[in-house]
Amino acid sequence: MKSPIDDSPGYLKEPAGPAERSSGIVSAFRNIFLEVALLTLFTIHFFKEVFKPPYEFNELLKQSFLIGYKSLPLVSVTAFIMGLVMTIQSRPTMVKFGAESWLPAMVAVSTIREIGPVITALICAGRVGSGIGAELATMKVTEQIDAMMVSGINPFKYVVVTRIFAATLMIPLLAIFADVASLFGSFLANNLKGDVSFQLYFLQVFQGLTFTDVIPAVIKTFFFGFAIGLVGCYQGYNADEGTQGVGKAANSAVVMSSFVIFIIDMIAVQITSFFP
């Protein structure tokens, strides 16, 4: 007689064999390549639509306000604390080696070249990327996008192009504000144990910086913003039907955009390493 336990799901399952494991790996790679292909087609569609009139300037200004101005307090406070903590943690080591005077230049170079842009992009990936993904997924689920098409409005241009373009423009500005806030936090932290004037501190900061530190860092923030807007719009615009699709789109937008940010940063570091 067969035991009832044998019929219950989840009990006494045999471990997956090599064939099942290999098929699972192949399926995972297939899904990754399919996602990359769909995202590439979505990007091509964006570049086709971005240059075609009519241009939605009012919606672009609105999205720039929501992405840039609304994210400024969070980015500024985070960057200020980051500069404060970095200086407090680095100062004892610099004092030990008698290199205390190099502290402003060290903090400035590390903040402007790498930490400021990446941290700002990750913050915006969490706030802006998830917001765009959830908003567009909600519009898709409630059939607002279909209603735009019926009323003669191009939903891709009105909804997608404006958000991607606004994110591309606003993330670099937020990164610049973050750099300034971080350096100001570093100045205050430096004055907790020492007595350095504002003019002297920033004179040392600018003496340690070159154009090869600033320009590549600003350029890559445009790619960060484009990636955040593109991934968020892609996940929301292609969300599954139902309320679960909204949460899935928001979560996928954050994870995928953060991953793309690290890839772009890795490529940017390799390119800038060729410059003197």
Residue 242 lies in a domain: yes
Which ranges of the chain does DSSP label H, i.e. alpha helix? 4-7, 18-50, 57-64, 72-96, 103-110, 116-124, 130-141, 144-150, 155, 162-193, 198-207, 211-237, 244-272
How far apart CA 208 and CA 170 sit, in angstroms, is 27
Residue 133 lies in a domain: yes
Residue 14 lies in a domain: no
Residue 53 lies in a domain: no
Under 8 Å between Cβ of 158 and 50: no
* Side chain identity, residue 64: S
Query: According to the model, what pLDDT value does residue 135 have?
Result: 92
How far apart CA 218 and CA 223 sit, in angstroms, is 9
Residue 221 lies in a domain: yes
Under 8 Å between Cβ of 114 and 214: no
* Per-residue CA distances from 223 to 130, 205, 218, 268 (Å): 18, 26, 9, 10
Which residues span the domain enclosing 226? 72-272
Number of domains in the chain: 1
Q: Is 3 exposed, middle or buried (0-12, 13-18, 19+ CB in 10 A)?
A: exposed
Residue 65 lies in a domain: no
Query: According to the model, what pLDDT value does residue 11 have?
Result: 42
Structure tokens at 180: 């300034």
- How confident is the prediction along the chain (276 residues), in pLDDT tens digits per residue? 444 444 444 444 555 556 666 677 777 778 888 888 999 999 999 999 888 888 889 999 999 999 999 999 999 999 999 999 999 988 888 878 877 788 888 999 999 999 999 999 999 999 999 999 999 999 988 888 888 888 888 889 999 999 999 999 999 999 999 999 999 999 998 888 777 888 888 898 988 888 888 999 999 999 999 999 999 999 999 888 777 888 889 999 999 999 999 999 999 999 888 776
Query: According to the model, what pLDDT value does residue 8 have?
Result: 46
Taking Cα atoms as reference points, which of 1, 258, 218 lies closest to residue 119?
Answer: 258
Residue 78 lies in a domain: yes
Cα R_g (the chain), whole angstroms: 24
Query: According to the model, what pLDDT value does residue 16 have?
Result: 56
In this prediction the pTM is 0.87
Residue 56 lies in a domain: no
Query: According to the model, what pLDDT value does residue 28 have?
Result: 75
Query: According to the model, what pLDDT value does residue 242 have?
Result: 73
